[in-house]
Structure 1
């Protein structure tokens, strides 16, 4: 939100705790792609069939799915740092054991233990990074996105290089790197307070009684079925060495990361969540059908797999956004319920695909994967109305993307107001004071608005601040204004998505209440942060039906227009 003038803060200037967890995130994101280049080598070296090797994915993902039901309870009971440490330690032990075994069944079993550690880690890593960050959560999100991109892209490359030496190499490599991350976490990450109220271990299952969350979860199950069918079986028809497979999946991983972080939020803002998901799922169905039809041509399979990275990156982000938009329960509970269903789909798919491939031929699992992508479309359509309502953010809906929580005396309906958008930081009072002078000069009531964001990065979501913190930020401004004889009201909005989603929430609120103008301040968020995570000011200016004014304590308010945005790339709420 609004911040004072000043030099742009670097998202990479963070405490050691953030860097320690970010390093662990890179290694964690390597986890799945790391083993893809060695799948054919495993089959040859251990005299196993592709269906037996595919159980590496099934055991890993099914255990992750079941564990997702309990990680919220575990974290709320033992704290985020202990959860991270236990997760990292479990990954280190089971990755090393997988490298020492001499049978495919041993690897499958140890990958199951690895899945338990992964569930504990991914459930808390983003929240710990955000909580440990300095200078606001924006920089922490950029760092997490960077870790995601590096992990997804470098995982197959490292797996290919180590796998060219021995199929055991990737497993030992993960064990060593995660051990380093474990030591860094022990040394640099401080203990964090536990939630005031522990999460019930059955809360995720209860949450699935909500139709919208269940619909999105089943859609994610079908999507992950197709996704992990491709990931588990595409390496075989490519007929490449471990090194070459690593390069192919590195290209795939780069597209996944780029489309997840940069393209998905922009497409969602332009067309809406559901329309993009419909087109995306159909696109994945076509890609899988191409793989099935061209399974005897390595070139066709390679091109199709790399291309699928675009669709997968978009789908991972927007499916998570859809879950967060539509869910009526707390974000961690929604994430656990959703994670349970999607990982179940990913775990069952390689097992079923293996049975089908053994009984028929290698094209059949890919045709089934294409069918599950297409089947996900009518499942999503069955919840279209709920998702549309959530995106429209009606005022009467208590838990939606921009649910409104009044703070102070409300402005009388139909009276044009001046809205000032603020954040919980030291520079906000000057912005509020400047907006108060503007409101007084135009004879308009003043409304102080704060947006509480739910940030979605690929398949993870986090709330950097709680509801009470957001209310306290607005209440503090109202109390200070009242002490100076200025009457004002306040609102807390919520948004789901990237940073720009908060700007769209502001624009929609301003249109809903018929605001005269929205005042915003400058931000030290640099061009990198705005490019990666979006700009509130840009989104607000493009979406607002009223004037958007840049205010500060040193100069007269300046009206922002679409044409002037190029001059104000460094301004953001």
Structure 2
């Protein structure tokens, strides 16, 4: 069946609804990037080490993974709207807990809860698009969402850098709580139920396990999913290590770091915009191949730079921009192609994709941070390994 035929008769996704879905997907970059400039201050305030402070990133990612793995299959049974409302409401509670945390242990616990509840919105937002679109249209919408959500890592570190002085890292979490409230109101207003009762699967353990099995046995789905999720590992190596590399190793201030981080995030938006223009004229598989090729090239160049030219900071900054741009060309196409392979189990497919993405994201920070503030080589090593593994996964999708 053609993409056009597959989507014939389906309701469109109006702009307010698409913007709400993008906001739900933006919870991860918002909750990560906005407090990144405050990581060193957070560690000092709670009397903990940089490694322990970075664990607040790891536990958030684990929560995101768990929330998606739990709610993705359940949304195939319960529908999309009720899980969205519940998850977003609990996200508000988690944000308040983070803001009031008296110790690093309590903060880590509430960061896990913040990730868990935020993961519900992330996984269901993808499933909603898969409910209503397919083929080129799906790839284009996922790319548009990437453009919208790329505004989050542009604005978040700038806003975080500006607010960290007057309101501190705790104030950042209050701001995130306010954004969660806006998300809840947007869900109640703009997102209807998109999974008809006749397309839902029974709410039974056996049925859920069967659906997950169908998804996991699809070789091409797994190939596209691993291309995306392992590629995200390269991105997160940069995200988690860059505050220490740019501020401590290169000697830039938190404000300059926020600007540089925002500039790099713009690369995702530029690549996503280019992708939306090309989808329909160039097959998503070919666009994905170009993105993966760029990814590997940047990974190799970053490794060579950190080993043989560690003092050439401008070159490493340029490569960071190229890394984020490559991911912008990769993410939307890989997501659309993966979910296109499992349209009848979009919630389960979205759950596995998101879970693998954030499990990789949880593993990466401690490895990328091994150099602390003295070397960028561990970050570059993780980036290179992830880009090579991502390319290997893409090769498995060939028929």
Q: Tell me, which stretches of 5 or more residues in structure 1 are unaligned?
A: 3-10, 387-573
Length, aligned pairs only: 372
- Classify the secondary structure of the residue corresponding to 1:201: helix
Residue 155 (structure 1) shift: 2.0
The within-5 A match list for 1:452-467 is none
Cα distance change of structure 1 residues 164 and 307 upon mapping to structure 2, 3 Å threshold: farther
Aligned to 2:348: 333
- Classify the secondary structure of the residue corresponding to 1:167: helix
Q: Aligned equivalents of 2:195 and 2:216: distance in 1?
A: 28
Pair 1:226-2:227 in alignment: no
Q: Which of 183, 188, 195 is equivalent to 2:185?
A: 183
Q: Aligned equivalents of 1:79 and 1:327: distance in 2?
A: 17
- Classify the secondary structure of the residue corresponding to 1:385: coil
Residue 121 (structure 1) shift: 0.5
Cα distance change of structure 1 residues 265 and 59 upon mapping to structure 2, 3 Å threshold: farther
- Classify the secondary structure of the residue corresponding to 1:89: helix
Residue 336 (structure 1) shift: 2.0
Residue 316 (structure 1) shift: 1.1
* Aligned 8 A contact 1:204 1:336 in 2: no
Residue 26 (structure 1) shift: 5.4
Residue 278 (structure 1) shift: 3.9
TM-score by length of 2: 0.78
Aligned to 1:162: 163
Q: Aligned equivalents of 2:215 and 2:130: distance in 1?
A: 26
Residue 76 (structure 1) shift: 3.5
- Classify the secondary structure of the residue corresponding to 1:319: helix
TM-score by length of 1: 0.56
Q: Aligned equivalents of 2:195 and 2:282: distance in 1?
A: 35
Residue 95 (structure 1) shift: 1.9
CA deviation vs aligned residue, 1:336-386 (integer Å, no higher than 9, x gap): 2222222211111113334x436x9552242232123123323432x1422
Q: Aligned equivalents of 2:33 and 2:188: distance in 1?
A: 27
Aligned to 2:74: 74
Cα distance change of structure 1 residues 164 and 309 upon mapping to structure 2, 3 Å threshold: farther
Q: Aligned equivalents of 2:305 and 2:59: distance in 1?
A: 25
Aligned to 1:269: 282
Cα distance change of structure 1 residues 219 and 298 upon mapping to structure 2, 3 Å threshold: same
Greater relative contact order, per chain length (Cα 8 Å cut-off, separation 6+): 2
Aligned to 2:359: 344
CA deviation vs aligned residue, 1:372-427 (integer Å, no higher than 9, x gap): 3123323432x1422xxxxxxxxxxxxxxxxxxxxxxxxxxxxxxxxxxxxxxxxx
- Segment drifting more, 141-150 vs 367-376: 141-150
* Aligned 8 A contact 1:264 1:317 in 2: no
Pair 1:198-2:201 in alignment: yes
Pair 1:249-2:264 in alignment: no
Q: Tell me, which stretches of 5 or more residues in structure 2 are unaligned?
A: 6-11
Cα distance change of structure 1 residues 285 and 25 upon mapping to structure 2, 3 Å threshold: closer
Q: Aligned equivalents of 2:18 and 2:234: distance in 1?
A: 34
* Aligned 8 A contact 2:20 2:190 in 1: yes
* Aligned 8 A contact 1:278 1:377 in 2: yes
Aligned to 2:335: 320
Q: Aligned equivalents of 1:189 and 1:329: distance in 2?
A: 21
- Classify the secondary structure of the residue corresponding to 1:334: helix
From the two aligned structures, give the one with the greater strand fraction.
1
CA deviation vs aligned residue, 1:47-91 (integer Å, no higher than 9, x gap): 433322222222122222233222223323443222111121222
Over the aligned positions, Cα root-mean-square deviation in angstroms equals 3.8
CA deviation vs aligned residue, 1:460-494 (integer Å, no higher than 9, x gap): xxxxxxxxxxxxxxxxxxxxxxxxxxxxxxxxxxx
* Aligned 8 A contact 1:219 1:376 in 2: yes
